[in-house]
Amino acid sequence: MKKRMYLGQMDWVMLGTMLFLSLVGIMVIRSAEGNGLSGQYYLRQTYWLAVALVAFFIGYLVDRRHLRRSAYVLYGIILLVLILLAVAGKITGGVQRWIYIGGLTFQPSEIGKLTLVLCLARYFHKLKAKPPYSLGDITIPVLLVVAYIIPIVLQPDLGTAMFMILLAIPIFLFMGIRRWTLLFTMGSAAIGAPFLFFSLKQYQQDRILSFLSPERDPLGAGYHVVQSKIAIGSGGIMGKGYFQGTQSQLRFIPEQHTDFIVSVLGEEFGFVGVAVVLGLMFFLTLWMLSYLGVTRTRFGMLTVVGITCAFAMQVTINVAMTIGFLPVVGLPFPLLSYGGSSLVATYLGFGIIAGYRRRRT
C-alpha cells in the first residue's frame, strides 16, 4: 500500500522531462560517434541511464532524516576517495580523476558536488546563529569547500574545483551573509586572481588566454572554441539534419560527445533544437525551485537550492564555454553529455528533490 502511495506521489513531469533529454543525449552521442567507434559511447550511456534511474528512485525513497544525519559521513567518504585518487589513483591522460570498474569508469567528484550541498545544508540547518552571517559563521563551511577543492586540483581538475566554489555561493547568499563579509570575500578573490593565474599550468593559462582571444592560437588552445562556433553557426535555424553535420561527422570538434555536445546538437538540429533543449532545462530549473514551497526545514530548502543551482550553473557554464563566452573548463552538459558519473549524480540529486513531495521535511 505504501509503495503505491509513493508512486502516486511521484513527480512524473520531472522524471519524464529528464528521460526525454537523456534520450536526446543518447541520440546526439550516437551521431557524434560517427561510424568508427563501434557504438561504444551511446551503448554505454544507455547502460548508465538505467543505473541513473535506479539512483533517482534511491534518492526519492531515502528518508530525509537519515539523509540529514548522514550528510557529514557521506561528505567524509567522498573526501577520502578524492584524496586517495589524488595520491594513488591510476593516471590516464595525465590526470587521476576516475575509479575503474571493469570496463567502465566513474568520477567521484561528480557525486562530490551533491555531497557538498548536503554537507553545507546540514551545517546551516544546525547553526544557531541567525542571519545575516558574519565571516566567523561561514568559516567552517568555507573550509569544507576548500577541503574538497585541494584533492580535486591535485588530480588535476581545475574546472570542477572552480565549480565547487560557485556551488557554495548560492547557498551562502540564500542563507544571508553580512555586506562587509561579502565585500571582503569578493575583494580577496580579486586580489588573489593574478596569483592564481600564474600558479596554473601552462595549458590552463593558455585556455584562459584563448578565451580572451581564440584566434591567437586557432590550431592549439583556441581550437575547441573555434570549431565549436563553426559547427553551431553552420547549423542555422533548422540544422543540417541528423548524421548530416560536417564538423561532427568529420570529427573536427574535440570532445564532441562530452563537453562540446551542444556543438553537435546545434549543427544537426539548429537553433530550434538547441532552443527546445535549453527551454526544457529552464523548465526543469523552475520546476525544482517550486519544491521550496513543500520543504519545511532549512536543510530541505538548502538542499533544493543547492541541487537546482548546481544544475542550472552547469548548463549555463557549458553553453557559455561552447560559444566562447567562458574559458574551456571541462564541465559536461547535464543529462546530454556522455558520462555515467554526471548522469547518475544528476538523477540522484533530482530524486532527492522529488522525494520532498512524498515527505515534507
pLDDT means per 10 residues in the chain (361 residues)? 59 95 95 69 92 96 91 95 85 74 81 96 90 86 91 84 90 87 74 64 60 52 74 88 81 80 92 96 96 92 96 94 82 92 96 84 55
C-alpha span between 349 and 161 (Å, rounded): 19
* Residue 39: predicted pLDDT: 58
205 burial via Cβ count (<10 Å: 0-12, 13-18, 19+): middle
The reported pLDDT for the residue numbered 32 is 86
Q: DSSP string covering 272-336, please? A: HHHHHHHHHHHHHHHHHHGGGGT--SHHHHHHHHHHHHHHHHHHHHHHHHHTTSS-------TTT
Say how far apart CA 28 and CA 261 lie, in whole Å: 7
At residue 244, the pLDDT reads 85
Among candidates 196, 142, 229, 204, which has minimal Cα distance to 328?
204
Angle 324-232-263 from CA coordinates, rounded to 5°: 75
Helix (H, G, I), strand (E, B) or coil at 259: coil
Per the listing, cell 578573490 goes with 189
β-pair type (104-106, 99-101): antiparallel
Residue 45 has a pLDDT of 93
Instruction: Give the other-Cβ count within 10 Å of 137's Cβ.
Output: 20
Residue 322 makes CB contacts below 8 A (sequence gap 6+) with 225, 228, 232, 259, 260, 262, 263
User: Please, which residues have CB within 8 angstroms of residue 141's CB and are 6 or more apart in sequence?
Assistant: 120, 123, 124, 168, 171, 172
SS3 133: strand
Of the CA atoms within 13 Å of residue 223, those in its CB half-sphere come to: 11
Residue 95, strand partner residues = 92
Q: What is the pLDDT of residue 1?
A: 43
Where do runs of H (alpha helix) occur along 62-92? 64-69, 71-88
Q: What is the DSSP letter of 127?
A: -
**Is residue 187 within 8 Å of 137, Cβ to Cβ?**
no
Our measurement of the distance from residue 148's CA atom to the centroid of its chain's CA atoms, rounded to an integer in Å, reads: 15
pLDDT, residue 195, reads 64
What is the number of residues in the chain?
361
3-state SS, residue 138 = coil
CA separation for the pair 229, 182 (Å, rounded): 36
